[in-house]
């Protein structure tokens, strides 16, 4: 009985398959850029209209958690990049632990995000649920927090998908690490890094404005 | 029975619903699209019956709103956008590039399931009571005032969007990576250039629609005013986001049709397409410039005058590559050995109707005229000339042309020509009067109108009846031929494309041996004609 | 047994990213007027470039991969440019 081929019949070789998969992933990332792009346009339009309110809203976000979360995500990306780099049959254990570590950091991020959300709920800053904000800046602040919740929630959904991918790859990679697993890991890693990049920009747009003034 | 083909390898239900064969997935899409076409068509029928008289005698204004919304949503997202790409495109992309399958076959199947999930969600919204916002979901009506199933319908469209994205992604990567040896970019059939351009739009515009619908659903569900002027939100932001997708989406609904027409015009003139490179790059130019014109839907909305001027100018620019295509098709016909087979009749109808639709688009790109014509039947007539006169006609043309390849059977030429002619006349009778109605000021989306508009409305409704019959005809003769038609040879049109070099219907693996391409496309030269037809 | 160690480029990128994070948070508290937004977005862009070039291995790629990676950004630029044009030029 012949061995089943390592790659599907529409490809001519393993590198052909892997490069094709990588291109597909980059194209998917381009799609994702535009998904967040719609939100970015909304942000800039409203920030342009209500500059003071956006600074005020930003000052009501928790920059400590925001900064810690950014560091966590950057570190988690580093672990994943490390895992992709050293992936081989000889390094199954370390790769598994790197992926589990990256996924755990992702979960810590989500947990901290939850704490942050509940803090904002206590401060009555959740539009549509409980929003109380006095003064002339109230409308713009509300728009800021709508953006904040929609953008971070969509980002968190991406995180959850990424965490699942990393855990699944950590588990199946332990059995028999093949070129196919490496290709899958590479794609998942690209996705994870992209989610990281989105956060880098969300951090700059959400937490940093208005800190120097009052 | 000779060699098993992709239709006869396996007859189980499982072999269809779990298939990763691009040809079978194309058939799954085809069947689904017929279903949605009839739903959208039923709504259109009700609209045209209501409009036959000036009074409201069939439906209330509320029901009428739901009818045209249903017509728009179903026809745009569940028929036109997937029409040619997901049926003919799915079937032909691997065949035309000499590949075994698309790059990501499982993703392809998944995209059909996602599409059906989105379709069923939207159908649920319709059955539960419908949506009355129009297909454009404009705020603040959709978020604050409408008492209909906006969130469910938006969710349906949102879900279907991912199917578009996956299909586009699959096509782009496939065309880049899986071409047969020797098949350089300038040897690709022009159908693939236009599908490639379409895919670029699918991949880069659809996510913006997704996030826009998400914002609409959020605003409606939580009662937060993302686009609500009362808290400083801007409804025009919604329109910008919506049209950033929906204008390029118009090109999703015409570029594949242009691609089909290239193949048909060339084949039935027995000549290469005139100015191949210009036509190829015009597709990409339309896709790219098509992203820069969306504001022409918003000339009367209160956007800034500078924005209107820029969008108006860009809208004129995008007409240039479209005009290049029309000129090149006519130049292809010039001194060609023209055969009036049914697919060619559809292609010629396309050229004429698309030209009318395109030129009236230029009227609408003019700021001053657009102020007069916005939201009148002139606009309705214009985009139906593009989408129905253009895309649907091309879809039928392509369907007839590749029918022998898809089913392995020959249809009745007599009935096919009859349907083509009926469609052309029915279409013009339906929609040309609407140009006049619009110019005289009849607004769209009303179910009652002043009696002086009745003549044109009756003509339009009469035309719609002819069109309905003409669209039903292929159901019968094509359906009949699929089971009882004469067996088709591998290459009934004596065409040089790779898809004709394999048997009809193709085997599951598409080609017995990996084809190698050694010549330019569209070589309908004498040497080729002299070859005996391998029946 | 050194094959499990991360390449220096990855470690360097990681440390640089954390350093840039500290820098951007610090600078956010320095009054620069409109400059604060410029600094925040510039440092954000540098961080994103680091992630893309080193973690996502774009520095080792060429041709089509770079085109695909740039396409999303280019179209994002179109969306922001033409979208904001209306709001910036309202009278």
Closest in C78, C85, C89 to B291, CB measured? C78
CB-based contact B104:A24 (threshold 8 Å)? yes
**What is the pLDDT confidence band of residue B533, given thresholds at 50, 70 and 90?**
very low
How many domains in chain C?
2
Q: From its phi and psi, is residue B167 left (phi > 0), alpha (psi between -120 and 50) or beta?
A: alpha
User: Rounded to whole angstroms, how far apart are CA atoms A14 and B211?
Assistant: 36
CB-based contact C68:A26 (threshold 8 Å)? yes
With respect to residue A7, please indicate whether it lies within any of the assigned structural domains: no
CA distances from B272 to B136, B494, B497 (A): 41, 14, 12
CA Rg, chain C, in Å?
18
With respect to residue A63, please indicate whether it lies within any of the assigned structural domains: yes
pLDDT tens across B82-140, in order? Answer: 999 999 999 999 999 999 999 999 999 999 999 999 999 999 999 999 999 999 999 99
Closest in A85, A91, A196 to C10, CB measured? A85
- Bridge-partner residues for B410, per DSSP? B486
- Closest chain B C-alpha to A99 CA, distance in angstroms: 25
Which residues does chain A have within 8 Å of residue C23's beta carbon, measured at their own beta carbons?
A: none
Chain B within 8 Å of A150 (Cβ-Cβ)?
yes
Name the 3-class secondary structure at B180. Answer: coil
Mean pLDDT of all residues in B520-528: 75
User: Rounded to whole angstroms, how far apart are CA atoms A43 and A143?
Assistant: 9
With respect to residue A137, please indicate whether it lies within any of the assigned structural domains: yes
Task: Supply φ then ψ for residue A125, to 5 degrees.
Answer: -115, 20
pLDDT tens across C7-62, in order? Answer: 999 999 999 999 999 999 999 999 998 899 999 999 999 999 999 999 999 999 88
Query: Which range of residues forms the domain containing residue A178?
Result: 16-212
With respect to residue A2, please indicate whether it lies within any of the assigned structural domains: no
Q: Are residues C66 and C55 in the same domain?
A: no
Q: Are residues C67 and C56 in the same domain?
A: no
Closest in A27, A81, A211 to C68, CB measured? A27
Name the closest residue on chain C to residue B245, using Cα atoms.
Answer: C79
pLDDT tens across B290-308, in order? Answer: 999 999 999 999 999 999 9
pLDDT tens across A159-200, in order? Answer: 999 999 999 999 988 877 788 888 999 999 999 999 999 999
Q: Are residues C70 and C87 in the same domain?
A: yes
Ordered by where they begin, the domains of chain B are 22-501 (1.20.210.10)
Interface predicted TM-score of the whole assembly (ipTM), two decimals: 0.94
Q: Are residues C69 and C46 in the same domain?
A: no
Which pLDDT score is estimated for B532?
A: 46
Instruction: Report the candidate in B262, B226, B229, B243 with the shortest Cα–Cα distance to residue B351.
Output: B262
With respect to residue A10, please indicate whether it lies within any of the assigned structural domains: no
Q: Are residues C20 and C52 in the same domain?
A: yes
Name the 3-class secondary structure at B244. Answer: helix
Instruction: Report the candidate in A21, A72, A29 with the shortest Cα–Cα distance to residue A199.
Output: A72
User: Rounded to whole angstroms, how far apart are CA atoms B505 and B489?
Assistant: 9
Q: Are residues C68 and C81 in the same domain?
A: yes
DSSP per residue, B503-520:
-SSPPTTS-SS-----S-
CB-based contact B289:B317 (threshold 8 Å)? yes
Measured CA angle at B429 (ends B423, B431), to 5 deg: 95
With respect to residue A5, please indicate whether it lies within any of the assigned structural domains: no
Mean pLDDT of all residues in B268-284: 96
Q: Are residues C56 and C70 in the same domain?
A: no
Inter-chain contact B169–A8, Cβ cutoff 8 Å?
no
Which subunits have 3 or more CB–CB pairs within 8 Å of chain C? A, B
Q: Are residues C39 and C79 in the same domain?
A: no
Instruction: Report the candidate in B287, B243, B279, B247 with the shortest Cα–Cα distance to residue B263.
Output: B279
Q: Would you state the structure tokens that stand for residue B356, as one six-digit string? A: 């009318």
User: Rounded to whole angstroms, how far apart are CA atoms A211 and A55?
Assistant: 7
Q: Is the pLDDT of residue C4 over 90?
A: no
Chain A within 8 Å of C9 (Cβ-Cβ)?
no
Q: Are residues C41 and C21 in the same domain?
A: yes
Q: Does this model's pTM top 0.90?
A: yes
How many domains in chain A?
1
Inter-chain contact C86–B241, Cβ cutoff 8 Å?
no
Q: Are residues C25 and C13 in the same domain?
A: yes
User: Rounded to whole angstroms, how far apart are CA atoms B315 and B354?
Assistant: 16
Instruction: Report the candidate in B142, B147, B86 with the shortest Cα–Cα distance to residue B119.
Output: B86
Q: Are residues C48 and C69 in the same domain?
A: no
With respect to residue A148, please indicate whether it lies within any of the assigned structural domains: yes
Which pLDDT score is estimated for A179?
A: 85
Which subunits have 3 or more CB–CB pairs within 8 Å of chain B? A, C
User: Rounded to whole angstroms, how far apart are CA atoms B444 and B438?
Assistant: 8
C-beta neighbour count of A175 within 10 angstroms? 9
User: Rounded to whole angstroms, how far apart are CA atoms A186 and B531?
Assistant: 50
Query: Which range of residues forms the domain containing residue C33?
Result: 1-60
Q: Could you tell me the CATH number of the domain that includes residue A121?
A: 1.20.120.80
């Amino acid at each position: 009985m012949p061995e089943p081929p390592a790659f599907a019949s529409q490809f001519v070789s393993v590198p052909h398959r892997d490069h094709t998969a990588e291109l597909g992933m980059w194209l998917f990332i381009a799609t994702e850029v535009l998904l967040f792009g719609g939100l970015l346009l909304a942000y800039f339009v409203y920030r342009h209209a209500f500059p003071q309110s956006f600074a005020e809203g930003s000052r009501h976000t928790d920059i400590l958690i925001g900064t810690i979360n950014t560091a966590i995500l950057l570190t988690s990306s580093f672990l994943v990049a490390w895992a992709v780099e050293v992936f081989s049959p000889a390094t199954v254990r370390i790769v598994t632990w790197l992926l589990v570590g990256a996924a755990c950091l992702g979960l810590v991020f989500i947990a901290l995000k939850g704490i942050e959300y509940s803090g904002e709920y206590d401060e009555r800053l959740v539009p549509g649920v409980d929003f109380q904000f006095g003064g002339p800046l109230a409308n713009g602040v509300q728009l800021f927090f709508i953006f904040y919740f929609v953008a971070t929630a969509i980002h968190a959904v991406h995180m959850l998908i990424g965490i699942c991918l990393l855990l699944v790859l950590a588990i199946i990679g332990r059995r028999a690490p093949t070129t196919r697993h490496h290709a899958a890991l590479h794609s998942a890693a690209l996705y994870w890094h992209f989610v990281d990049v989105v956060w880098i920009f969300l951090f700059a747009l959400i937490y940093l404005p208005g800190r120097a003034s009052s | 029975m000779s060699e098993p083909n992709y239709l006869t390898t396996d007859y189980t239900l499982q072999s269809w619903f779990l298939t990763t064969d691009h040809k079978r997935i194309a058939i799954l899409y085809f069947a689904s699209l017929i279903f949605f076409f009839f739903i959208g068509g039923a709504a259109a029928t009700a609209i045209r019956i209501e409009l036959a008289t000036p009074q409201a005698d069939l439906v209330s204004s509320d029901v009428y709103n739901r009818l045209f919304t249903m017509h728009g949503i179903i026809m745009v997202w569940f028929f036109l956008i997937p029409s040619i790409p997901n049926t003919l495109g799915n079937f032909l992309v691997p065949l035309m590039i000499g590949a075994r399958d698309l790059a990501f076959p499982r993703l392809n199947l998944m995209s059909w399931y996602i599409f059906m999930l989105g379709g069923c969600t939207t159908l649920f919204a319709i059955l539960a009571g419908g949506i009355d916002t129009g297909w454009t979901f404009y705020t603040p009506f959709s978020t604050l005032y409408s008492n209909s199933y906006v969130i469910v319908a938006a969710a349906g469209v949102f879900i279907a969007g991912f199917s578009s994205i996956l299909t586009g992604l699959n096509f782009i990567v496939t065309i880049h990576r899986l071409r047969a040896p020797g098949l350089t970019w300038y040897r690709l059939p022009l159908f693939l250039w236009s599908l490639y351009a379409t895919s670029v739009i699918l991949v880069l515009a659809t996510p913006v629609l997704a996030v826009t619908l998400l914002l609409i659903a959020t605003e409606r569900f939580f009662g937060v005013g993302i686009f609500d002027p009362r808290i400083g939100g801007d409804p025009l932001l919604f329109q910008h986001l919506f049209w950033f997708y929906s204008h390029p989406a118009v090109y999703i609904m015409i570029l594949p049709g242009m691609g089909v027409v290239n193949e048909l015009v060339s084949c039935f003139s027995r000549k290469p397409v005139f100015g191949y490179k210009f036509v190829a790059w015009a597709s990409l130019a339309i896709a790219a410039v098509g992203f820069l014109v969306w504001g022409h839907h918003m000339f009367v909305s209160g956007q800034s005058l500078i924005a209107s001027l820029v969008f108006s100018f860009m809208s004129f620019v995008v007409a240039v590559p479209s005009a290049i295509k029309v000129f090149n098709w006519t130049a292809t016909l010039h001194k060609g050995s023209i055969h009036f087979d049914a697919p060619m009749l559809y292609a010629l109808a396309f050229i004429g109707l698309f030209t009318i639709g395109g030129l009236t688009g230029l009227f609408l790109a003019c700021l001053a005229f657009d102020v007069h014509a916005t939201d009148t039947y002139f606009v309705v007539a214009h985009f139906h000339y593009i989408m129905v006169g253009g895309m649907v006609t091309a879809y039928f043309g392509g369907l007839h042309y590749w029918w022998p390849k898809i089913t392995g059977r020959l249809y009745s030429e007599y009935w096919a020509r009859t349907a083509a002619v009926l469609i052309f006349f029915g279409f013009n009778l339906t929609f040309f009067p609407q140009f006049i109605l619009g110019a005289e000021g009849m607004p769209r989306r009303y179910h009652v109108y002043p009696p002086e508009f009745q003549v044109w409305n009756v003509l339009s409704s009469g035309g719609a009846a002819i069109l309905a019959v003409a669209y039903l005809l292929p159901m019968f003769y094509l359906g009949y031929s699929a089971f009882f038609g004469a067996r088709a040879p591998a290459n009934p049109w004596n065409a040089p494309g790779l898809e004709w070099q394999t048997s009809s219907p193709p085997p599951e693996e598409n080609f017995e041996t990996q084809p190698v391409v050694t010549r330019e496309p569209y070589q309908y030269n004498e040497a080729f004609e002299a070859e005996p037809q391998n029946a | 047994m050194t094959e499990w160690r991360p390449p220096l480029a990855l470690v360097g990128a990681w440390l640089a990213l954390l350093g840039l994070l500290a820098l951007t948070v610090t600078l956010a508290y320095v009054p620069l007027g409109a400059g604060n937004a410029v600094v925040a977005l510039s440092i954000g862009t540098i961080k994103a470039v680091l992630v893309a070039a080193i973690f996502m291995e774009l520095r080792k790629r060429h041709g089509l991969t770079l085109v695909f990676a740039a396409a999303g950004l280019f179209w994002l630029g179109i969306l922001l440019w033409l979208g904001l044009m209306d709001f910036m030029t309202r009278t």
